[in-house]
Amino acid sequence: MGVCSALTSMRPQASNPAIPLLTATAGMGTFAAMDAFMKALSIEMGAYNAILWRSCIGLGIAAVLFFAMRSRWPVRSTLRIHVWRGLVVSLMAFLFFWGLAYVPLAEAIALSFIAPLITLYLAAVLLFEEIGRRAIIASVLGFGGAIVIVTGQLSGNLDSKMVPGIAAILLSAVLYAYNLILQRQQALVADPIEIALFQNATMLGVYAALAPWFAVVPTPTQLPWLAAAAVLSLTSVLLISWAYARAQAKTLIPVEYTAFVWAALLGWLVFDEVVTLVTVIGTGFIVLGCLLAMRESRAPGARQPEAVSS
């Protein structure tokens, strides 16, 4: 079964459109928590090794779940989607963390927010989804909220060392937008555990190929942190994949902007960072965009996936 055929074989639509939105939001929060662990690990052992060993542990957990549920091995066309997205994610992650070496975190997050806007129009081209007026307004509101939040964070300093980092993060954002489309395609033909299994397997294969030159065995004290990052990463994949199987990509796009909100909340709770009024205002725009997207999914005549038995 080819990709075009797979797009018509969709999971059942959620009876309440708010459930996929809330699930995706929880997935973004879990992802943000994983980022906090990965940031600490990357500082201590390097980004490459943090991703390598996290993927190794994540693959083990996903494999246990996959075989415990006696899941069927995916067909060749589905395997191609799994591997292709795994390759995209591998390169996307490397570019983002490499860029962070040259670009302050606030600027990097701001640049990455171009991804959902790109995804909105990629969804029209690749998933044949109609772009409604509300969906466009929702994404603009979300992007505007992100801009409001990061304007208070941007230093405005730009030197020659930041140029390659900015270029890498922008390219990573483009790949992330494409990744969201592939994530939707995966969710239509595979369950979340299968997606997590093959994503970790592909990433581990890519990074393991470089192990003879860059790999460093983690210390016993680093293993619990790696395990926590792997569990959080797997949980995020499961939640977001479940949501994307039950709502259109354009509906869930504004949820991507909550990543900055989660980061601000974790910064306040973990690092004692102050949440400013600017952050609150920006968050309001983001939440408004999410609510508008939910109304889009409820609008009469909105294009919905065809329900089939799972």
- Are 103 and 165 within 8 A, CB to CB? yes
The predicted model scores a pTM of: 0.73
- Are 82 and 202 within 8 A, CB to CB? yes
CA 255 to chain centroid, in Å, comes to 10
Tell me the three-class secondary structure of the chain, residue by residue: CCHHHHHCCCCCCCCCCHHHHHHHHHHHHHHHHHHHHHHHHHHHHCHHHHHHHHHHHHHHHHHHHHHHCCCCCCCHHHHHHHHHHHHHHHHHHHHHHHHHCCCCHHHHHHHHCHHHHHHHHHHHHHCCCCCCHHHHHHHHHHHHHHHHHHHCCCCCCCCCCHHHHHHHHHHHHHHHHHHHHHHHHHHHHCCHHHHHHHHHHHHHHHHHCCHHHHCCCCCCCCHHHHHHHHHHHHHHHHHHHHHHCCCCHHHHHHHHHHHHHHHHHHHHHHHCCCCCHHHHHHHHHHHHHHHHHHHHHHCCCCCCCCCCCC
Domain annotation covers residue 34: yes
- Among the ranges given (31-45, 65-79, 131-145), the one the predictor scored with the smallest mean pLDDT: 131-145
Question: Where does the pLDDT of residue 118 fall: very low under 50, low under 70, confident under 90, or very high at 90 and above?
Answer: confident
Domain annotation covers residue 6: no
Query: Rounded to 5 degrees, what are φ and ψ at 82?
Result: -60, -50
Burial 181-219 (b: 16+ CB within 10 A, else e): bbbbbbbbbbbbbbbbbbbbbbbbebbeeeeeeeeeebe
Inform me whether the pLDDT recorded for 67 exceeds 80: yes
Domain annotation covers residue 186: yes
Identify the pLDDT of residue 43: 77
Identify the pLDDT of residue 37: 85
Identify the pLDDT of residue 170: 81
Residues 129-150: tens digit of each pLDDT: 777 777 778 778 777 877 776 6
Identify the pLDDT of residue 61: 93
Identify the pLDDT of residue 85: 94
Identify the pLDDT of residue 106: 63
105-112 and 258-271 helices, crossing angle to 10°: 160
Longest dimension (CA), the chain: 57
Question: Where does the pLDDT of residue 204 fall: very low under 50, low under 70, confident under 90, or very high at 90 and above?
Answer: very high
Domain annotation covers residue 2: no
Give the number of domains in the chain.
1
Question: Where does the pLDDT of residue 273 fall: very low under 50, low under 70, confident under 90, or very high at 90 and above?
Answer: low
Distance CA 93, CA 99 (A): 10
Q: Look up residue 40 and give its two tokens.
A: 């600490």
Domain extent at residue 159: 19-298
Question: Where does the pLDDT of residue 277 fall: very low under 50, low under 70, confident under 90, or very high at 90 and above?
Answer: confident
